[in-house]
A and B are shown apart, each in its own frame.
Chain A
Amino acid sequence: MDLSFSEQDEAYRQKLRDWIAGNKDLATRTMKGIDDKGDRNPIQAMRDWQRHLYEAGYVGMSWPKAYGGYECSLTEQVIVNEELARAHLPPTINTIGLTIVAPTLIQHGNEDQKKEHLKRILRGDDIWCQGFSEPGAGSDLASLRTAAVVEDDQFVVTGQKVWTSVGPIADRCVLLVRTDKDAPKREGITYLLVDMKSEGITVQPLRNAGGGSHFSEVFFDEVKVPRGNMVGELHGGWAIARSTLDNERSGLSGVVALENNFKKLLELVEAGTRSGKPALEDPQTLNQIAQYWIEIEGLRYLGYRTLSEQLKGQKPGPQASVGKLFSSKLRQAMAKSALEIAGPYAALTKKSPHVLNRGRWVAGFFDSLGYSIGGGTSEIMHNVIAERVLELPRSVED
């Protein structure tokens, strides 16, 4: 076993670090919401940031060159993900476009669709949102009811989607609709690309338990979608959606995010006290943070195992599917500990003059609660491990 990177890879890493160091001002400006023209426009600033990242070669690294990608090696992608996460840079605004829409189009889209959308996704010109979940179709996504009727050369869509991230600012949406009510539920679904400016679409922000509005509800009232915006075959949408939901990742960039959280937790421990003594001398506190350190190490080595398999062109083994379940649990435990270590002031809102770190710990706590729900609940992840890894009989017949 050997965890070292080749000299070539290390040179690539250095080049990236130089780019990051040379673009500190740009990153700070973006965080402040100032765009390339110098105007205060947070959304435009984030689009500009993604375009700069792309032009430097750090977005779309795995994509074919024909569609604007860079065809980088897997190791280079891992290096970029790690370094970007480590440097606390602004995120890419078009995450759904980059991680869900584009892989889908590359795999299943026709040439026109690829030419029309891929480059714009890379440059942050179009921000995409995902219209999959519905009020009545969460874990059981295939029971979705938003309906599309075929009329001449267009679909007419009516229904409601929910948990739509970036809904209010999205330019386009990937939408799952029911096109055959009588077919078995997985065989009557079609995959559409929808312009969010179409007539009949209403977006309503949805506040989450922590008070933020990252999601929205999207209502469709007889929205017309050209037939050319269908991906794949009529009624063939379920398999297409599944193929990108199953996109396994090594999870190594998630490990860097956890390490960043852990560093903040350590700073809290360093500053905190327990029974009149530094928290660092409290055995129970040390025991707890040691456990988190162990679990982050575990996730890192888990990620390396997955990456090794991917580098050899193998299908990722069982460790890939335990990563999400494990990391959401860990994230929540750490966030809860942070509140406890920070003490009673950690429970104050931003409005209080005594608020700690501008309410970061409370926000982190509420944030962490979403990780075991979004992208497949922990209960569903248990089912996935039980059924696909342990090959136990299905718990639900449908």
Chain B
Amino acid sequence: MNDATDTASRPGREANSERGKALANVIFNAVLAALFVGLFVQAGDLPSSMWEPLGAGSFPRLILGALIIFNLAIVFQSAMALRQTDQATSEGAGRWFAQRRLAFATLTAFCVYALLMPWIGFALASLLFLLAVQIILGARRGRRLLIACLVAAVFGLGLYALFSHVFLISLPPGRLW
């Protein structure tokens, strides 16, 4: 989406996102098609069977073959759509991400949460994650911040206690202590 990064203009937002989507589809589905071709070739090495006409590899190859065709069809369809939309009014990928910054910030926090969990344990990691995301999403001061702290404490520690004592499912206790 690099050619569309900086030429964002105001009018026709609908067309903008259509164009961005079409371009994203061309790239995405072309990559997928290539991946499936690779897997299709690999599936050829799977053993066949003496007892049945289809071996372990036939069904996956059938599916992968169909997937390659469908992905190429979507690439073709999107490429046609791309030609029809106006080049000048394209929305930048950067802006697309910027508009969804809260969603990506939340997902990034979720990644950090997962990476920290084996070290500091489920209870503390959850507490920090809950607090951080609530602050990201706008609970910055006063009563809302207080509620955020409360929610973080109750759910972070509460879920850990609930699962380890009531359902007897142990969650990561943390390697550091």
On whether the two chains bind one another, the answer is no
* Chain B residues near A (Cβ < 8 Å): none
